[in-house]
């Protein structure tokens, strides 16, 4: 068959030869054509180089010492084997060429397997990195509301931020005020109209976190902190003690 006149067929056969999927008589006929026709040899070499280049995806790995021992024994056997006088020199050259082509085909098949394994490993590594980044993104706060609560002298006392994704209101004390042991600070949401609504009782920690629904925060125009009996007061009663800190609640773009 004249493969040179059928470039698509030649390309398919060359790729199958390099991958090692071209076997039996078809493989032998392709090797015979490759020895006779330079374009066929070139097509096979092109595909083998393509597969070999995929090795760059995989970190370098030293072959097992047994592999080198087998290669050394094979080369030694080829050097020591006498050439039959009745066999023409061209037959020996043909056999050596055949071994060369088969070795090249085996190398191409090995390269394709290595490339496949490398691709799978790379996909697993990238998948792990994506999952790690997603976890970090979910763990990082997404601030949607901010308020600076100040005292009567307009000195900042607390910084309040709200993360709607985690449903958490975070308050950080920024002054030295500390309530007495028998008193508690209570946080209130102040709507544009209507009674204040309690968002929780604050502990003595420098950073305080309270679970809050977004509608509780979204409907407030300001936040306030009052001084109440220990444990706070019911929400429906509203603040019973003095309001120590207060500030407008600002919605910010995410």
C-alpha atoms less than 13 angstroms from C-alpha of 155 in its C-beta half-sphere = 7
Q: How large is the average pLDDT for residues 44-55?
A: 71
Nearest-angstrom CA–CA distance, 31 and 24: 11
Out of 47-56, 74-83, 137-146, 218-227, the most confident range is 218-227
- Reported as a pLDDT band with limits 50, 70 and 90, residue 47 is confident
pLDDT of residue 80: 73
Where do the domains of the chain lie?
A: 3-138, 145-251
- The answer to whether 79 touches 49, Cβ cutoff 8 Å, is no
Pairing of strands 183-190, 222-229: antiparallel
Domain formed by 145-251, architecture: Sandwich (2.60)
Nearest-angstrom CA–CA distance, 116 and 58: 10
- Reported as a pLDDT band with limits 50, 70 and 90, residue 245 is very high
**Residue 7, pLDDT above cutoff 70:** yes
- Determine the 3-state secondary structure of 245 from DSSP: strand
- H or E segment and range at residue 7: helix 7-19
Nearest-angstrom CA–CA distance, 100 and 121: 31
**Could you tell me which residue, 144 or 188, shows the higher pLDDT?**
188
- Reported as a pLDDT band with limits 50, 70 and 90, residue 86 is very low
Nearest-angstrom CA–CA distance, 66 and 207: 63
- Reported as a pLDDT band with limits 50, 70 and 90, residue 13 is confident
- Angle (nearest 5°) at CA 219 between 157 and 185: 30
pLDDT of residue 17: 87
Name the token pair of 22: 């071209």
- Reported as a pLDDT band with limits 50, 70 and 90, residue 69 is confident
Mean pLDDT, the chain, rounded, equals 78
How far apart, in Å, are the Cα atoms of 99 and each of 74, 81, 179? 11, 15, 90
Closest CA to 50 of 111, 95, 91, 125: 111
- The answer to whether 188 touches 196, Cβ cutoff 8 Å, is yes
Ordered DSSP codes for 118-158: HHHHHHHHHHHHHHHHHHHHHHS----EEEEEE-TT--EEE
Q: How large is the average pLDDT for residues 117-124?
A: 55
- Reported as a pLDDT band with limits 50, 70 and 90, residue 166 is confident
pLDDT of residue 94: 47
Name the token pair of 66: 């047994």
Q: Which segments within the chain are labelled E, that is strand? A: 145-150, 156-163, 168-173, 183-190, 197-202, 207-211, 222-229, 243-251
pLDDT of residue 225: 95
**Residue 172, pLDDT above cutoff 70:** yes
**Residue 84, pLDDT above cutoff 70:** no
- Reported as a pLDDT band with limits 50, 70 and 90, residue 59 is low
Nearest-angstrom CA–CA distance, 25 and 31: 10
- H or E segment and range at residue 225: strand 222-229
Q: How large is the average pLDDT for residues 207-211?
A: 91
For the beta carbon of residue 34, count every other beta carbon within 10 angstroms.
22
Q: How large is the average pLDDT for residues 81-103?
A: 53
pLDDT of residue 173: 92
Handedness of CA 198, 203, 204, 206 (dihedral sign): negative
Q: How large is the average pLDDT for residues 128-140?
A: 58
pLDDT of residue 143: 81
């Amino acid at each position: 068959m004249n493969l040179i006149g059928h470039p698509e067929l030649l390309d398919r056969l060359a790729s199958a030869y390099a991958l090692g999927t071209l076997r039996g008589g078809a493989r032998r006929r392709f090797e015979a054509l490759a020895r006779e026709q330079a374009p066929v040899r070139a097509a096979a070499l092109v595909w083998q180089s393509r597969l070999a280049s995929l090795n760059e995806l995989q970190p370098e790995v030293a072959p097992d010492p047994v592999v080198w021992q087998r290669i050394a024994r094979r080369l030694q056997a080829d050097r020591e084997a006498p050439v039959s006088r009745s066999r023409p020199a061209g037959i020996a050259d043909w056999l050596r060429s055949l071994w060369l082509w088969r070795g090249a085909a085996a190398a191409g098949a090995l390269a394709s397997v290595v490339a496949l394994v490398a691709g799978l490993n790379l996909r697993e590594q990238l998948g792990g990195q994506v999952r790690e980044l997603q976890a970090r993104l979910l763990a990082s706060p997404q601030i949607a509301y901010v308020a600076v609560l100040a005292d009567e002298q307009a000195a900042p006392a607390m910084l309040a931020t709200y993360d709607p994704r985690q449903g958490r209101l975070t308050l950080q004390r920024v002054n030295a005020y500390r309530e007495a042991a028998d008193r508690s600070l209570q946080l209130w949401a102040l709507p544009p109209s209507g009674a204040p609504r309690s968002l929780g009782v604050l502990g003595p920690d420098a950073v305080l976190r309270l679970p809050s629904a977004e509608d509780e925060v979204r409907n407030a125009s300001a936040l306030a902190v009052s001084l109440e009996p220990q444990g706070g007061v019911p929400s429906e009663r509203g603040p019973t003690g003095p309001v120590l800190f207060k500030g407008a609640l600002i919605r910010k773009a995410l």
